[in-house]
Amino acid sequence: MSDPTPEPTSSTSRLGRIAPVALNQPGDLIAAVPHLLHYYPADAVVANVFVGDTIEVVLCSTLPPDALSRRLVEQTVASAARHPGAAVVGVLVGGVVGGGPVDGLLPHAALAARMRDTLAEHDVPLRMFWTEAITAGARWYDYHDPSHTGTVPDPKTSVLAAISAVRGRRTFDNREDLAATLRPDPHDALARRARLIDNPAGRSGRPQSTGESYRLVMEHVKRTEDRSEALSDQDVADLAVALSDKAARDACLATAAGDHAQAAERLWSELTRQCPAPECAEPATLLAVAAYVRGDGVLASLALDRAEAAFPGHRFAELLRAALDSQMHPDTLRLLVDHAVERVERMDPAEPA
């Protein structure tokens, strides 16, 4: 009989070799968590997997009842096992109102103990903290010694907040707000664009070859760097047709590296929202690759959610999902991007293929 218990909602941010900046105190690490995940977690368990002084992976799951905690612990153990020499620093956020030590115990002490004991069986050290919320002035406590306590500095003025801002990365109030950035446009707009895509009469000026498709997309990538106006319905339809050429789409993987990476990611995000199904699966997979290569596993997963909903069985999306689920290192996926770069460099300027 299958287990009817639902899985806790989870996110993984695969950071790769991003060393923490001035995260010497528990409060500093707690304040950094929203910028590592790109959203503020609430009623959640966050597991930061360290190798040396580098955070390799940040796992975040909704705070489960005790019946679900076993699955959460197994996720953390599996993640740590992929990184020899790993240690875990966990943060439980919320779960109670006005919490703090009661008779010497912190909220969800049983879950913290279960995580500690299970990780210890695998020789993975764990340090665990609790805070009611990740906000300036919130008090944190140490599960090892609840008398060891302090306050969370303002996450919005931390060094990692500044780094995120310089990189053009926004930290959202919650995971739902982040997911909303990829919410499909209204049905009537999607239907208009679907008619343009399907209408043979609308194909005048459309790309007729892989080379034309690739050039059209790259022209839009470059325009996006300075463009302030929205794409027109015709632009969306033309780009959807261009990206339906799998060879052109694969060549566009090269944009995840280089000078146009940020503009390309913005364009893929726009098209993920604005293209109808099933065409939106192509920009969504490009967005997933771009996000994952720079270490944002949460956005990559959300983009794949969109691709899989629009095009069930999409082979590239399935392969990317397997990479995320196995927590493949971004450097490994970057080999795919490097291959695309080499392919583009070998293209005939008159007719890339």
353 residues of the chain, pLDDT tens digit each = 333 333 445 565 554 444 444 456 899 999 999 998 999 999 999 999 888 888 888 888 888 766 567 777 888 888 888 888 999 999 999 877 666 677 778 888 888 998 999 999 999 999 999 999 999 999 999 999 999 999 999 999 887 787 777 777 889 999 999 999 999 999 999 999 999 999 876 555 566 788 889 999 999 999 999 999 999 999 999 999 999 999 999 999 999 988 899 999 999 999 999 999 999 999 999 999 999 988 888 899 999 999 999 999 999 999 999 988 887 878 888 888 888 888 777 765 555 44
Q: What is the pTM of this model?
A: 0.84
pLDDT at 275: 98
Q: Are 336 and 253 in contact (CB under 8 A)?
A: yes
Q: How far apart are CA 294 and CA 258, in angstroms?
A: 12
Residue 61, Cβ density class (10 Å: 0-12 exposed, 13-18 middle, ≥19 buried): buried
Residue/partner pairs of 119-124 with CB below 8 Å, 24 or more apart = 119/73, 119/76, 119/77, 119/80, 119/88, 122/77, 122/80, 122/81, 124/77, 124/80, 124/81, 124/86, 124/87, 124/88
Question: What stretch of H or E contains 87?
Answer: strand 86-93
Dihedral sign, Cα of residue 131, residue 104, residue 128, residue 300: negative
Residue 278: Cβ within 10 Å count: 16
Dihedral sign, Cα of residue 325, residue 328, residue 329, residue 334: negative
